[in-house]
């Protein structure tokens, strides 16, 4: 406490009326008997408990202010550095570096009617502490500062630098105590207390008492700040690794739910994904990294990106998991996870599924019956050296594929097989009113009462709607020059049958011709030309040449490069992927005449 | 009924025979899966219905590439036709005999048909696409030869522009041939057929191991040889 000498003497010369004193000097004033002491300790105990009960910074400050009034002061206000409320702000300053810090008044307590000081010292207001305020000095020095009486001159000076309203009546002729909130050598804010003139000045016991409670409050605030930072980091991290709005490729409708085991941290090792693949196929992924919390979430992030990258190569499901397994082994021995990778083909009406130790999905058939999909069990990712078998599941349009992690069915003491059977029954009941994926997820979670889950829960429901054959045209063509005009004719003919808008027809014909021209130049085996009409018109050209084309700048005279340049300029989206036998180059055109939903798609079925 | 040309199996084209044997083995392999992958055959059923409207009861019909006998041999037999099925796959023949006991199924190749005109109609659904173009013409000639004057020919093909290229189909290797619809019309005309009716439709097999296709159905009549 000897440090107060420094702040005190400096301000003394400035004000002259101010008492900043060494606490040790007035020990005789303590003079309390056993009853007083018991009462005092009981107050301290109760106040400490109140302060400790707060969970966030504002609540702790509120409890602190409330504990001080009326026993220690008639008025108390708690101020915290505004930077504490900003995510990612640097650590709080050391004393001496607070002069220009923004400070937020987070809690005010007093014994007068609530509105008495409301407009003068509103909670939530942000200011820079003026050097006329004892709080300024308390924060700058890191030690308590107190005035026996605020003189009219000092009150005038404080009022002049205060806005809004007139501060004079709140401080003039009052006893004033400012105690900084300091923890681990850092200043987090301060508390200001005043007593009306008729009350005694603050004494050493008061200063020690407030100091004790301020230390408690500061620790609580700092912990809350660090925890809040952790939660924010975790939430940000999760936002970075989980799809917020799942992509909705044609032919599928997806809903998902994610319930972390620790809702405060909001991250876990479960993940899911939907990834659009060439040919309107969709990869549906679910996985579960062993363990919980931030560490497993970080591993999850790695594996999820790896799956996305491998999916972009359009590897068959079994091969994809094999590659993921090798990658996981390279990434570290904590990269252990179960994962299920399904590729839904809305044209072929089937799902090809490979599994790495994950729970088998459920299939809610369009007629309401529920099946547990038979998939190979497989070894978890990260075990290494195992092959992953695949299963092909026939799908009827309207079936809903339900993927989930074990958190949904695991409960202590229950047999997992029983829980899975129960899940099947719940699904059957849930699907009865509506097999809409969103409704299904909600109903299912309510039925299973998953609020009490001990493990992360991920749930994904995908309605597999299919694409009617009428919206597909597919031809095998020879890799010979006469194919180019023939392909052009086929495309024109198909678009005329579909009654597509003129603008789309002209551009598609041009771009499709460019892609077929490229394919004819490089392919050895047959070329496959496909048109697919959904919300967009998709045109794909497959050939057996493994070299992916390179997009050249405009102005280059190479015709192949020019073709792709045209595609990149005129198509809505385009891309190139490797296939098992070569590559596929594709582009999409918007179908603008969609003023009443999908063109015919919904009416053509059946 | 003797369907093969005498001595034709010992013909000079050994390479062709080996190829047909390989193709037959491939069909054996997919015999149980074929109808699963192609469950809806509305286009095929429709063209056969139209054909049946034009045939007299008890008409003799040859189904080339009869496969499992479903649905065409079954449909023809149900309508009271005298059905002969022809296929190169012993497994398929076996299944067809179970599916359509009242029809006669013969193991053999369309190229080996003896040229006696003895059928009022011939059907050939998705079978000529397994021949190279040059052989498709020969096969069409053979079919013309076994038809009586003014006989009917129902053909199902997949639209494409390839001649005898290898593809993967239901995890087996096949060689396939395709025509664009205009080209096929020309080939049919050159082979002595007039087209009475045609239908083109998109089809998606219910498996990831076969690609979607555009199916073409033609109902033709053998041109009167006098004209």
- For each successive 10 residues of chain B (227 residues), what is the average pLDDT? 47 79 87 79 94 95 95 96 95 95 94 86 95 95 94 97 89 90 96 96 82 94 72
Per-residue pLDDT for A370 more than 90? yes
What was the ipTM of the complex prediction? 0.87
Predicted local confidence at residue A19, as pLDDT: 44
pLDDT at residue A558 in the model: 55
pLDDT in tens, A323-356: 999 999 988 877 899 999 999 998 888 999 999 9
Q: Tell me which residue in A348, A526, A530 faces B208 most closely, judged by beta carbons.
A: A348
Kindly report whether the peptide bond that precedes residue A598 is cis, defined as omega within 30 degrees of 0. Answer: no
Contact with chain B for residue A528, Cβ under 8 A: yes
d(CA A279, CA A541): 10
Mean local confidence (pLDDT), A145-168: 89
pTM: 0.67
The pLDDT of residue A605: 35
CA neighbor of B211 nearest in space, from A280, A577, A135: A280
Whole-number pLDDT of residue A15:
35
pLDDT at B96: 96
pLDDT at A134 (0 to 100): 92
Q: pLDDT by residue (tens digit) across A436-455?
A: 899 999 888 888 875 566 77
Cβ neighbours of A473 in B, within 8 Å:
202, 214
**Nearest neighbour of B161 by CB, restricted to A471, A474, A477:** A477
Q: How far apart are CA B96 and CA B204, in angstroms?
A: 24
pLDDT surpasses 90 at A52: no
Q: Across all residues in chain A, what is the average pLDDT?
A: 83
For residue A313, give the DSSP letter. Answer: T
Residue pLDDT, tens place only, A198-222: 999 999 889 999 999 999 999 999 9
Enumerate residues 141 to 160 of chain B having a beta carbon within 8 A of any beta carbon in chain A.
Answer: 158-160
CA atoms within 13 Å, Cβ hemisphere of A163: 4
Q: Residue A58, Cα to own-chain centre: how many angstroms?
A: 23
In the prediction, which pLDDT does A553 show?
A: 58
Q: What is the pLDDT of residue B11?
A: 53
d(CA A57, CA A221): 5
**Angle A64-A68-A71 (CA atoms, 0-180°, nearest 5)?**
155
Q: Indicate whether A140 pLDDT > 60.
A: yes
What chain B residue is nearest to A487 in terms of C-alpha separation? B161
- Once rounded to an integer, what is the mean pLDDT over residues A84-111? 83
Residue B161 and residue A483: Cβ atoms within 8 Å? yes
Q: Which residues of A touch B170 (CB under 8 A)?
A: none
Confidence of residue A592 (pLDDT cuts 50, 70, 90): low
Residue A32 clears pLDDT 70, i.e. is over it: no
Which phi and psi angles does A420 have, rounded to 5°?
Answer: -65, -40
Query: In this predicted structure, which of A182-196, A299-313, B95-109 has the lowest mean pLDDT?
Result: A299-313
Percentage of chain A beyond pLDDT 90 is 41
Q: Given an 8 Å threshold on Cβ–Cβ distance, is B204 in contact with A469?
A: yes
Q: What is the mean pLDDT of residues A261-285?
A: 80
Task: Return d(Cα A368, Cα A332) in angstroms, integer.
Answer: 43
Predicted pLDDT at A600: 39
**A352/B161 Cβ within 8 A:** no
Report A:448-477 residues touching B (Cβ under 8 A): 467, 469-477
CB of A324 closer than 8 Å to CB of A388: no
């Amino acid at each position: 406490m000897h440090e107060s000498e420094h702040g005190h003497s400096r301000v003394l010369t400035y004000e002259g009326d101010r008492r900043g004193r060494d606490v040790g000097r007035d020990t005789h004033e303590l003079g309390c008997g056993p009853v007083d002491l018991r009462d005092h300790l009981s107050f301290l105990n109760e106040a400490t408990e109140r302060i400790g009960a707060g969970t966030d910074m504002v609540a702790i400050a509120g409890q602190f202010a409330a504990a001080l009034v009326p026993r220690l002061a008639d008025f108390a206000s708690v101020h915290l550095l505004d930077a504490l409320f900003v995510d990612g702000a640097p650590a709080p300053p050391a004393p001496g570096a607070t002069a220009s810090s923004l400070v937020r008044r987070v809690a005010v307590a007093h014994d007068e009617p609530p509105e008495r000081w409301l407009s003068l010292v509103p909670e939530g207001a942000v200011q820079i502490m003026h050097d006329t305020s004892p709080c300024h000095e308390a924060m700058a020095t890191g030690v308590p500062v107190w005035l026996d009486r605020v003189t009219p001159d000092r009150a005038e000076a404080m009022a002049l630098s205060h806005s809004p309203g007139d501060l004079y009546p709140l401080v003039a002729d009052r006893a004033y105590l400012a105690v900084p909130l300091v923890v681990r050598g850092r200043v987090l804010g301060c508390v200001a207390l005043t007593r009306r003139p008729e009350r005694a000045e603050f004494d050493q016991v008061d200063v020690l008492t407030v100091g004790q409670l301020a230390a408690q409050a500061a620790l609580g605030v700092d912990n809350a700040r660090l925890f809040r930072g952790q939660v924010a980091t975790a939430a940000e991290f999760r936002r970075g690794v989980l799809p917020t709005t799942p992509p909705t490729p044609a032919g599928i409708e997806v809903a998902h739910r994610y319930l972390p085991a620790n809702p405060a941290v909001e991250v876990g090792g479960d993940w899911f994904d939907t990834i659009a693949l060439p040919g309107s196929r969709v990869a549906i992924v679910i996985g579960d990294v062993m363990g919980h919390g931030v560490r497993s979430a970080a591993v999850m992030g790695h594996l999820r990106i790896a799956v996305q990258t491998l999916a972009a190569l359009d590897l068959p499901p079994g091969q994809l998991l094999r590659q993921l397994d090798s990658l996981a082994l390279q990434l570290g021995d904590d990269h252990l996870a179960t994962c299920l990778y399904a590729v839904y083909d809305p044209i072929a009406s089937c799902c090809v599924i490979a599994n790495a130790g994950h729970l088998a999905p459920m299939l809610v058939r369009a007629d309401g019956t529920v099946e547990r999909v038979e998939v190979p069990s497989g070894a978890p990712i990260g075990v290494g050296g195992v092959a992953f078998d695949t299963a092909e599941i026939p799908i009827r349009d309207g079936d809903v594929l339900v993927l989930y992690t074990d958190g949904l069915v695991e409960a202590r003491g229950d047999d997992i097989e029983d829980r899975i059977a129960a899940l099947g029954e719940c699904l059957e009941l849930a699907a009865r009113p509506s097999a809409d994926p969103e409704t299904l997820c909600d109903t299912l979670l309510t039925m299973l009462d998953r609020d009490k889950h001990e493990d992360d829960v991920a749930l994904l429901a995908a309605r597999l709607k299919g694409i009617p054959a009428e919206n597909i045209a597919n031809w095998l063509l020879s890799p010979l020059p006469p194919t180019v005009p023939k392909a052009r004719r086929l495309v024109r003919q198909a678009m005329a049958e579909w009654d597509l808008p003129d603008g789309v027809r002209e551009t598609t014909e041009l771009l499709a011709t460019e892609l077929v021209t490229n394919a004819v130049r490089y392919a050895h085996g047959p070329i496959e030309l496909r048109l697919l009409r959904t919300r967009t018109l998709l045109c794909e050209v497959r050939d057996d040449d493994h070299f992916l084309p390179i997009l050249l700048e405009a102005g280059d005279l190479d015709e192949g490069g020019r073709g792709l340049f045209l595609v990149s300029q005129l198509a809505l989206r385009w891309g190139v992927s490797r296939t098992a036998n070569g590559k596929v180059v594709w582009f999409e055109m918007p179908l603008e005449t969609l003023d009443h939903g999908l063109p015919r798609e919904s009416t053509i079925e059946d | 009924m003797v369907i093969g040309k005498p001595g034709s199996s010992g013909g000079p084209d050994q390479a062709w025979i080996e190829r047909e044997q390989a193709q037959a083995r491939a069909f054996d392999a997919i015999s149980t899966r074929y109808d699963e992958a192609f469950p809806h055959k509305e286009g095929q059923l429709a063209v056969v219905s139209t054909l049946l409207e034009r045939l007299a009861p008890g008409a003799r019909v040859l189904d080339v590439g009869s496969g499992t006998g479903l649905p065409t041999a079954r449909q023809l037999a149900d309508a009271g036709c005298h059905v002969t099925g022809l296929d190169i796959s012993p497994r398929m023949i076996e299944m067809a005999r179970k599916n359509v006991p009242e029809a006669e199924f013969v193991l053999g190749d369309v190229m080996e048909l003896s040229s006696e005109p003895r059928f009022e109609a011939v059907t050939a659904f998705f079978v000529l696409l397994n021949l190279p173009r040059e052989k498709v013409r020969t096969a069409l000639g053979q079919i013309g030869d076994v038809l009586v004057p003014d006989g009917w020919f129902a053909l199902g093909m997949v639209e494409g522009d390839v001649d005898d290229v290898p593809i993967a189909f239901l995890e087996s290797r096949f060689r396939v041939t395709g025509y664009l619809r205009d080209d096929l019309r020309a080939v049919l005309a050159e082979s002595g057929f007039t087209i009475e009716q045609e239908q083109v439709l998109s089809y998606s097999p219910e498996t990831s191991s076969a690609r979607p296709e555009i199916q073409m159905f033609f109902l033709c009549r053998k041109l009167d040889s006098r004209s």
